Amino acid sequence: MTNPNLPPAWQACVDLGGTKVAVTLARAGKLLLETRLSDSTAKEGERDAVARQILRLIDAAAVQSGVAPADIAGVGVSSCSPFVREDGLAALATPNICGGLAGPARGLPNSWMSAALEAPLRQRFAQVRVENDAVAALVAERRWGALQGAQSCAYVTWSTGIGVGLCVDGHVLRGKNGNTGHAGHMFVTDNNDALCGCGNVGDLEAIVAGNALPRRFGSDAATLLIAAQAGNTQALAQIDDVCRAMGRMLYNLVVTLDLERISLCGSVFWHHRGFLLPRLAQQLHGKMPALTEGVEIVPAGLGLELGDYAALALL
């Protein structure tokens, strides 16, 4: 039982993605956003490089905030995935971090088939919770964001990769290894011009993810989307093709799980949401109305702070 006479414990909220990792301290269930530190996700060195990076960022955030690192009692990690279990603990088998999955052709500077995550953290902290970032974001969106009140819903991130968190009849779905929702690795077109970090050729993530667009079209997502919105015919056709594939995935989720609402975030989507949202919704309109009529597709209520709140929701 918590002693009410003691001050509330400090906790670390970790937002781990394929591009960057961020740490924000929290106390008494409140994020202290001024403590946030971030760095590019480690992809070189030993298999525990990412976990060691997280520990360094936690210590740095504590020192910067005048908190003794030893006073941090626990850590919640909202992490890109999938996971594998190593001695019962979550390790990363993440296409955008582990270069051994797709091999040298993918261009990652390591040959990791998996990367230690939970085990090194548990060597220091008594309280550690690691969760698929899309699932953690779903929980946060249901608690504080755009999915409040929705019993059958999904959260979708469109960023470096594609992630999905799912809730049906009020139950958050997790699966045998916490990997439910990897809809980014479904096949929705016959396109086979892109290698995904998981080793698939032509799955959704390989076609539409933020790190896929430069390989396919020679322009990063922001440049391509700005050109499309300015009326560049080629860029507009490319973005419409990308939205068709992404929208089909959303349609498949809705008709498979009978969803009522989907919220979206992620760097690719968020900065161009007004342009992208109607193009995604178009893939549902008029198709199987008994299942799609009235379904809402909305921007995430927590916006770009969602990753921080996702980690907080774990604690």
Q: For 206-216, what is each residue's pLDDT tens digit?
A: 999 999 999 99
pLDDT confidence of 200, banded at 50, 70, 90?
A: very high
- Return the pLDDT at 2: 44
* Residue 22 falls inside a structural domain: yes
- 5 domain residue, yes or no: no
ω into 82 cis (within 30 of 0): yes
Residues 191 and 275 both lie in one domain: yes
Of 254, 252, 249, residue with least CA distance to 209: 249
The pLDDT of residue 105 = 87
Percent of the chain having pLDDT more than 90?
Answer: 89
Residue 17, CB-side half-sphere exposure with 13 Å CA sphere: 25
User: Looking at the predicted structure, is the pLDDT value of residue 1 above 70?
Assistant: no
Residues 59, 92, single domain; the answer is yes
Is the domain of 52 the same as that of 185? no
| Helix H or strand E segment including 128 | strand 127-132
Instruction: State which residues form the domain around 236.
Output: 146-299
- Binned at pLDDT 50, 70 and 90, residue 7 comes out as low
Report pLDDT for 194: 86
Give the C-alpha separation, 265 to 96, whole Å. Answer: 18
- Cα–Cα dist 65/107, whole Å: 37
Same domain, 111 and 184: no
Tens-place pLDDT, residues 267-314: 999 999 999 999 999 999 999 999 999 999 999 999 999 999 999 999
70 and 160 part of one domain? no
pLDDT band at 189 (very low <50, low <70, confident <90, very high): confident
For residues 195 and 279, what is the distance between their CA atoms, to the nearest angstrom? 25
Q: Is 16 inside a domain boundary?
A: yes
- The tokens of 208 are what? 């539409």
> In this predicted structure, what is the pLDDT of residue 178?
85
231, 180: one domain = yes
| Spatial CA neighbour of 224 closest among 200, 206, 240 | 240
Q: Are residues 116 and 150 in the same domain?
A: no
| CA distances from residue 292 to 64, 215, 253, 257, 296 in whole angstroms, order as listed | 49, 33, 10, 11, 9
pLDDT at position 92 is 97
Residues 18 and 42 in one domain: yes
The whole-model pTM stands at: 0.91
| CATH assignment of the domain containing 176 | 3.30.420.40
- Say whether both 63 and 118 belong to one domain: yes
In a domain, 23, yes or no: yes
| Torsion over CA: 243, 248, 253, 259 (sign) | positive
In a domain, 188, yes or no: yes
User: What local confidence, expressed as pLDDT, does residue 269 receive?
Assistant: 97
Q: Are residues 40 and 168 in the same domain?
A: no
3-state SS, residue 274: helix
| pLDDT tops 60 at residue 245 | yes
* 3 state SS of 81: coil
* Same domain flag for 180 and 293: yes
The neighbouring-strand residues paired with 296 are: 261
Does residue 1 lie in a domain region?
no
Q: Regarding predicted confidence, which is higher, 20 or 6? A: 20
115: in domain = yes
Are 32 and 105 in a shared domain? yes
Name the band, by pLDDT with cuts 50, 70 and 90, for residue 4.
Answer: very low
- Tell me the per-residue pLDDT of 39-91, one tens digit each, with 9 for 90 and over: 999 999 999 999 999 999 999 999 999 999 999 999 999 999 999 999 999 99
Is the pLDDT assigned to residue 126 strictly greater than 90? no
Give the pLDDT of residue 52: 98
Number of domains in the chain: 2
Residue 193 lies in a domain: yes
